[in-house]
Amino acid sequence: MTSNVIPHCLTERQMLLAVNGIERLFIGTVVPILVLFGISGNILNLTVLLTPTMRTRSNILLSCLAVADIVFLVFMLPHALAHYRIFAFNHWFRRLYLVNKIHLLAILNWASAAAMWLILVICLERLMGIMYPLSARRHKKSSKIAVIVTIIVVTTGVLTSYNHFSYFCATRYFCNGSQFHAMCLPTDSERWFRNQTNPNSELMKTVVRWGPHVNAVCVILIPIALVFISNAMLIYTIRQRQKQFITQSSIKSESHLSGSQSRTEHKVTTTVCAIVTCFTITQGPSAVIRVMAVYYPIQHEFMIAVQSVITTMVVLGKALNFVLFCLSSANFRARLLQQARRGLLKKETSCRIHFVSLSSTNDCRKHGPKTACISTITSFQKSVDRSSPSYKQQEIRKGQLDTNDTMRTTEDVNNDGYDDA
């Protein structure tokens, strides 16, 4: 990168990092709210999906999707903050943001590509688990899931790596060093700064020139098409299951275990189908625009405004997964509330013990020997824990959970370990 000091001062309009008002509205106002909500929601998803009793193949894949969405949202936040004047005119923020903007975009594309292929794997895994349960039961090792996820992350990282060097940015200081700005040119551009010859190698130019085409096919078109087809098959499967439920409800000889297995499969499929459908709706327009941008670069302000709206849709899709889990999965809601109550009970008990211990210690220092005080405090802590209503309620809930887990284990033996996401 080159760095020069120029006495000329840029105008306020030239210093802004947003093109128009629509971009500032969506990326600068709506996106930060969605980012914060999405990060919080996906963290809650992970706390539920990664509990020992919920670690099924479907839930592990959904957890990987949540991690990919969190990475996307975290690296989306600097782009949103750049639309605020307090950051846009801050020297250190501009320096960090403009120098690393290309790499931030590359990581965004990487996380988006990984999420797209993970959605496809989740959809296919659920479809195979329902259509071919015996085959799925023979291939239910979590080590294979780790291999699949690793292949997805590495492959998408390689396919999107060209973004890290697709542009060369020259930085300069204006207004006697008080204004920092950057100008970027494509790495394979025929014209260069100061009318110089492009110094990049032919290999780099070729990779940058063909990288977007390979990315459009392997990261956008193929997975989107496969997700659309597999999701349609999932919807068809759900409808067929609903018909079976109506038929089976009239047959008195059907066992309770078989009915529970069918209901569990149906619930998991419904949850996955809702997530995949939301993904297709929110990511589809973005995929079309990204393919168009490869062959018809976006320069007009109207297209930039459209791109801003579509980017907001993508962020909305990342943030809605938590809402979809809560709406489509009763088991997820129950587990989430259960963990919240446990956390509150634990905090309440800890605070009470700390307060009682502090009071008892002060009394013992005045009236009794140290050994007797410690024994008194310990016995009092145990009596407080076991006599408190919260302890009794926790024991009741624990007994109910053990009963539910026993029933769920029986269902999982016949259902290949699938749980209601």
- Using the 3D structure, point to which of 269, 299, 328 is the last residue of a domain: 328
- Using the 3D structure, point to which of 301, 328, 355 is the last residue of a domain: 328
Residues 197 and 191: their CA atoms lie apart, in Å, by 7
**DSSP code, position 131:** H
Within this chain, do residues 247 and 374 fall inside the same structural domain, yes or no?
A: no
Number of other CB atoms surrounding residue 17 within 10 Å: 23
Residues 385 and 387: their CA atoms lie apart, in Å, by 6
Question: Between the ranges 18-32, 63-77, 304-318, 377-391, where is the mean pLDDT highest?
Answer: 63-77
- Cα 95 off chain centre by: 28
State the sign of the Cα–Cα–Cα–Cα dihedral 297, 301, 307, 310: negative
Task: Write down the pTM of the prediction.
Answer: 0.77
Question: Between the ranges 140-144, 199-203, 253-257, 286-290, where is the mean pLDDT highest?
Answer: 199-203
Within this chain, do residues 198 and 104 fall inside the same structural domain, yes or no?
A: yes
Asked if 408 contacts 52 with a C-beta cutoff of 8 angstroms, the reply is no
Residue 46, domain CATH: 1.20.1070.10
Could you list the beta-strand ranges (E) of 17-149.
Answer: none
Tens of pLDDT, residue by residue over 367-400, are: 555 444 545 445 545 554 454 444 445 554 555 4
Query: What pLDDT is stored for residue 196 in this prediction?
Result: 84
Within this chain, do residues 74 and 193 fall inside the same structural domain, yes or no?
A: yes
Query: What pLDDT is stored for residue 326 in this prediction?
Result: 78
Instruction: Pull the structure tokens for residue 26.
Output: 């969506």
Instruction: Pull the structure tokens for residue 191.
Output: 């014209």
Q: Pick from 418, 115, 421, 39: which is nearest to 265 by CA? A: 418
Helix axes 321-328, 57-81, angle to 10 degrees: 140
Instruction: Pull the structure tokens for residue 333.
Output: 């809601």
φ/ψ (deg, to 5) at 174: -110, 170
Within this chain, do residues 320 and 377 fall inside the same structural domain, yes or no?
A: no
Within this chain, do residues 103 and 244 fall inside the same structural domain, yes or no?
A: yes
Q: Which domain holds residue 360?
A: 339-414
> In the beta sheet, which residues pair with residue 186?
167
Within this chain, do residues 62 and 130 fall inside the same structural domain, yes or no?
A: yes
φ/ψ (deg, to 5) at 179: -120, 125
